[in-house]
Amino acid sequence: MDLKTATAIRRLRLVSAPEAISFLLLLVCSVLKRTTEFNAVPVMGMVHGVLFVLYVIFWADAWNRAKWSLKTAALYFVLSVLPAGGFFAERKLRRETEDAVIASRARKEGLVGA
């Protein structure tokens, strides 16, 4: 994995968890709006919208650079629209990056064929 690909995946990882948190908070705010006088939906809606747009931009960049299959790219996109999917995406992306680093080090040390 080259540096630009690793950076693209890292950016996607870094925005995954905050996007998931903002989605869950937006759902809570929506319930509170309907049941109480508290209305934070406009603020949380904007925060979540910005994070979601960043997620989609970083997802497209990571898909392009990492040369994911359509199935893998679709999985990461579907995870972005599920309330807690960002947490699963972050975990899966972390594992993918760690595996790539391990493979790269093994190739460098001559333990496996390139």
In this structure, what token pair is assigned to residue 89?
A: 């995406």
What is the share, in percent, of the chain residues with pLDDT greater than 70?
Answer: 97
Which of these, 100, 104, 8, lies nearest to 61 by C-alpha position?
Answer: 8
Q: Is 58 exposed, middle or buried (0-12, 13-18, 19+ CB in 10 A)?
A: buried
Distance of CA 65 to the CA centre of its chain: 15
Q: At what angle do helices 85-108 and 70-81 cross, to 10 degrees?
A: 140
User: Could you read off the pLDDT of 15-24 as tens digits, one per residue?
Assistant: 999 999 999 9
- 35 pLDDT band, cuts 50/70/90, is very high
Contact call for residues 11 and 61 (beta carbons, < 8 A): yes
Q: What pLDDT does 112 receive?
A: 63
Q: What is the mean pLDDT of the chain?
A: 91
The residue among 113 and 16 whose pLDDT is bigger is 16
Contact call for residues 83 and 24 (beta carbons, < 8 A): yes
Query: How distant, in Å, are the alpha carbons of 15, 76, 98 from that of 58?
Result: 8, 11, 19
The residue among 3 and 46 whose pLDDT is bigger is 46
Cα separation, 114 vs 91, in Å, equals 27
